[in-house]
Copies of this chain bind each other. A is one copy, B any other.
Amino acid sequence: MNKIFDNITTIAFDADDTLWENENFFRDAEKEFYVLMQEYATKENLEKELYKREIAHLPLYGYGIKSFILSMIETALVESKNTIKPDIISEIINIGKKMLAHPVLLLDDVEPFLTYLKSKNYRLILATKGDLVDQERKLEQSGLKHYFHHIEIMTDKQSSNYTALLQKLDIEPSEFLMIGNSIKSDIIPVINIGGKAIYIPFHTTWVHEEADAKSLQKINYLELSRLGELIE
């Protein structure tokens, strides 16, 4: 295996868009929302206003689909100047319920890679941001739960959150490798505390998760297009 695995005992995986598809369901939901709202505002305006509200609501609502539904409803109310037809609000709630009931679609190579790591006796951790009940549902449905020694659903993924996780599990940063699709949440904060990271971009990234990978020195950090590259 790649030398980034030297001295590593514990490998943590992000979940959404690293193990299974996620962000594209948000993009599809937004498209439905723009169509529903077309008599009240342009797509460009709705896109800007919805994103603004999602970010403003993060401290109060956190990440996840329920927060997203509430931000869509509020955007609909404000952009229609409180003239929205109530059935459109019902439709927005239905978009959210559909997202929450969506089957879990695993990404390529995930299961063979987890099996391989397990056979090599790495301690595997799931470290994900988001809504508790929705992440637990996806983990149950994914059939991947048995691979993981510990599951951590985090309110945020700053360096301080990773430090707390490592302390709790009694892991040194130098033994810790994080694998994920967000430079901002999975890579930078882990490298900053002395861990290692593998970045595997997903084709769709939420604007809020974008960060400039070029600014990072390629030390303790590897970029791949697919998980499978590691065992080929």
> Which residues of chain B have C-beta atoms less than 8 A from A101's C-beta?
60
Set B90, B96, B100, B131: member contacting A132, Cβ < 8 A = B131
> Which residues of chain B have C-beta atoms less than 8 A from A73's C-beta?
73, 89, 93
Set B60, B87, B133, B136: member contacting A97, Cβ < 8 A = B60
CA distance A59 to B60 in the complex (A): 22
Name the CB-closest residue of B to A140.
B155
A144 within 8 A of B: no
Asked if B77 and A90 sit within 8 Å, CB to CB, the answer is: yes
> Which residues of chain B have C-beta atoms less than 8 A from A133's C-beta?
60-63, 155
User: Which residues of A from 160 to 210 have beta carbons under 8 Å from B?
Assistant: 168
Q: Is the interface on chain A under 10, 10 to 19, 20 to 34, or 35 or more residues?
A: 20 to 34
> Chain A 109-143 against B: per-residue CB contact (8 Å), 1 yes, 0 no?
00000000000000000000001111010000000
CA distance A153 to B100 in the complex (A): 20
CA distance A19 to B73 in the complex (A): 33
A42 within 8 A of B: no
Asked whether A82 and B74 contact (CB < 8 A) given A62-B133, A66-B66, A100-B60, the answer is no
Name the CB-closest residue of B to A74.
B93
A70 within 8 A of B: yes
Q: Report A108 CB to chain B, min CB distance, Å.
A: 29
A104 within 8 A of B: no
8 additional contacts (CB under 8 A) given A60-B101, A131-B131? A60-B97, A62-B133, A63-B133, A66-B66, A70-B70, A70-B93, A74-B93, A132-B132
Interface residues of A (CB under 8 A from B): 60-63, 66-67, 69-70, 73-74, 77, 80, 82-87, 89-90, 93, 96-97, 100-101, 131-134, 136, 150, 153, 155, 168
Ranked 8 nearest A-B pairs via Cβ:
A62-B133, A82-B86, A66-B66, A132-B132, A84-B86, A82-B87, A60-B100, A136-B155
